[in-house]
Structure 1
């Protein structure tokens, strides 16, 4: 996740972004998928290989050779964020998201999720939903409310390497947002991501707030051609040393948690 600036989040500088077009649909009171039906997990299974990162904490799995990822899905709970003591970089922020590419394929990344941002002067926490097609900047979804502990469902469905649809539902508040995209930067569609991130603002890495545990649930990616899915078993398990650790539970569940000062 990379915000171009702190305030004007709706501009795409540079000619490489001019072809991206999209339409949005926003509904309220739609069909509710009850978060109470999500499983409660009590144990961890830690067999995935671990990889250190300066800003990703979560699972990234990969399409088998000769296959591509058509769709990626996951539920997660937006965390409660607090200032990390001893860290002088502000704003402090935590983003949780689901995405396609950005790991082995670094030219582009299609992602959507939530972010908490803590103001350095007032300590006020801002919670927002967003989406991004890297290398362009992130779009804040002002019509989708976000509160601490809200459950979200994110589905990213690609119809080609440069087009697709993002659907984000706040299950706790019964709001759904969808955006249809075309003309985006070309995806390889080889990486499936479920990540808690220390985001960038412009070219500067934000401070990393502390946060309550983020469980990703019903994590899967659908493959092309034909049928088949992958989950998080066998994925690379990204960690931010000294700040965030992640582990898989099984093929459909993982958790990322904050390491305190």
Structure 2
């Protein structure tokens, strides 16, 4: 069940709502002016990393069927508190030899906290592609296993986004998503979320759909940073890199550029 309301306090336009057990408030500004934050539901997807049937794992590479990128699998001290990065929205196209139809190809780009204890704090950009709509980019957030939500931040292919997630407790969080190119940002404050462990931080390109992974232009995550409750800072150094094995035999890979930059390529 989802409910949404808009409240005006002085010059601040506040959106509030609920998704099952989650309650949230949101405020959005576009080039300095307060604007309403509007949310709509996306189809539920399997957002945890799915292992291929052969179960291949060769440290520090982890092969999955739906993720590519990098995971910090343990904080150096304390628990993971924030994760952030910047990237440009990629373009997607049909895999080689396949024909575009009414079923959509999907791709997400996101940062997140946790993945192994049944909950994931995650937000970022994405797109779907089919014959009915063409390529449609979007901005979304999710506290898995609750379903993903689209937020009405303007977005074009090639726009630069910055996303920062803060786990203020195991059941409360603050999402900050900014389209740097267009000067629009939303802050979402959430309570009552599924319990986090705060033991992983990740930077991911994901295929959340049922079709093969679409071809995508390189995603370069920059300013990659995870902080812990003790103030420790971790980037891409020491992560487990993730390779995504598509059903058509293609592989998408995460590759470290340096401690603050990660390249994910098809």
Classify the TM-score, shorter chain: 0.7 to 0.9
Match of 1:76 among 58, 80, 87: 87
Q: 1:129–1:146: 8 Å Cα contact kept in structure 2?
A: yes
Aligned residue among 232, 238, 263 for 1:255: 263
TM alignment of 1:80-91, pairs within 5 A: 80-87=91-98, 90-91=103-104
1:10–1:249 CA distance, 2 compared to 1 (3 A):
farther
Once the two structures are TM-superposed, the CA of residue 10 in structure 1 deviates from its matched residue by: 5.8
**CA distance in structure 2 between the partners assigned to 1:165 and 1:157 by the alignment:** 5
Structure 1: any 5+ residue segments left out of the alignment? 1-8, 12-16, 32-47
TM-score normalised per structure 2: 0.78
**1:233 to 2:237 alignment:** yes
Q: Deviations over 1:201-248 (max 9, x none)?
A: xxxx34321111000001011111x21111111111001132311100
Partner of 2:108: 95
Greater per-residue strand proportion: 2
| Equivalenced residues, count | 220
RMSD: 2.1
User: Aligned ranges for residues 58-77 of structure 1 at < 5 Å?
Assistant: 58-64=69-75, 67-77=78-88
Asked whether the 8 Å contact 1:69–1:221 carries over to 2, the reply is yes
Partner secondary structure for residue 244 of structure 1: strand
TM-score (norm 1): 0.79
Give the corresponding residue for 1:42. none
Which segment drifts farther, 19-28 or 238-247?
238-247
Identify which of structures 1 and 2 has the higher relative contact order when contacts are C-alpha pairs closer than 8 Å and 6+ apart.
1
| Residue of structure 1 in register with 2:21 after alignment | 19
Deviation at 1:65, TM superposition (A): 6.5
**Farther off after superposition, 169-178 or 22-31:** 22-31
In structure 2, runs of 5+ residues without a counterpart are 4-18, 34-58
Q: Equivalences for 1:124-163 in 2 at 5 Å? A: 124-141=134-151, 143-163=152-172
